[in-house]
Amino acid sequence: MRAKITQSKIWMLAATLALISHSAFAQTGGAKPASGAPANPASGDAANRANVLRAAANALGMIRWSDIGAGPVHLPAIDAVNTMRIRATGTVDQSADADYRLDLAYNPPALRVEIAPKGAAQHTIQTVRDKYAWNESEIGAGLVPGKGTATPAMADVQQRLLQLWTLPYGVVKASLAAGDKTTVSTENGATVITFPLSGTLAGVTVKATLDPKSLVTKVETRPDNPALSSLVTETEYSDYADHGELLTDVKSPGHIVEKRAGRPVLDIRVKTVDANNPYLVFPVPPNVKAAAPAAK
């Protein structure tokens, strides 16, 4: 009897130790654990900034990992958002009832906006990639001889790129990329991220407000040069959900309201979002490359 009790105790010990061992592996996966402490938005230090930005990325479903078929390889999580299509309806500029399609990519940075006012024969397609902006008479115009016209619109490069970087995903990516130039503060009880944009948008500062779930709810942009009024924007995001027909666990706003230089330019309700990194490409038409002063 005494031997049996000892045996059963040892079995329990063995099972417990084995479970501890498995749990420890499952927790760390061999990677250095990050701090799980809640962020203190007011401190503004590097650890706090990292926690706030990680929380913002996480709230949007950007931080992803998967071990399917991984075998002995256990990778860290990465920012999994690159391309996306947003379909919406609402008020766009002066059109009260328009279909709005936004195709975007962050690597390389590109965006194509198609606006089709209901009942109107004309629709507009505005595209930007890196240093090039152009308008398309049809999707992909100017790439194949005889298939549509691509009209260079270099003056709009900054304003169009700003649309990309003021979307919630762009805010998180750009604030991470800005490193220690990004500051975190508290305004009226809400966490606020402030950071400068770079490259073509150098000289523009972004201020983004997060809600208690760390979702981006308001984005304001201010250029150093006050003459660039088209870069003074204020965008509000709300009604976040996974709007995909293919569910991705990437959250997107269901309602977007934007003002540019104080003037309302967008008030749209999102219908669907393809956030599954869909096939979206933005090749620059040869005539646009040739026309661009940025290409010299």
What residues between 94 and 153 interact with other proteins by CB under 8 A? 107-108, 138-141, 143-144, 147
Coil, strand, or helix at residue 190? strand
Whole-number CA gyration radius for the chain: 24
Binding of other proteins by 248 (CB under 8 A): yes
Binding of other proteins by 296 (CB under 8 A): no
The least distance separating other proteins from the CB of residue 77, rounded to whole angstroms, comes to 4
What is the distance between the alpha carbons of residues 41 and 57, in angstroms, rounded to a whole number?
A: 15
The owner of tokens 């220690």 is 180
Size of the site for other proteins (CB under 8 A): 73
Interface characters, 15-54, with other proteins (x: CB under 8 A): x-xx--xx--xxxxxxxxxx-x-----------------x
The least distance separating other proteins from the CB of residue 18, rounded to whole angstroms, comes to 4
Closer by beta carbon to other proteins, 71 or else 189: 71
Compute CA distances 213 → 2, 49, 121, 286, whole Å. Answer: 56, 16, 42, 45
Compute CA distances 54 → 39, 45, 168, 176, 238, whole Å. Answer: 10, 14, 13, 9, 20
The answer to whether residues 133 and 160 touch, using CB atoms and an 8 Å cutoff, is yes
Residue 206, token pair as written in the block: 């972004």
Interface characters, 182-211, with other proteins (x: CB under 8 A): ------------------------------
Collect all residues with Cβ–Cβ distance below 8 Å to 274 and sequence separation of at least 6: 84, 85, 244, 245, 246
Interface characters, 148-187, with other proteins (x: CB under 8 A): -------------------------x--xx----------
Closer by beta carbon to other proteins, 171 or else 232: 171
* Member of 52, 56, 60, 81 binding other proteins (CB under 8 A): 81
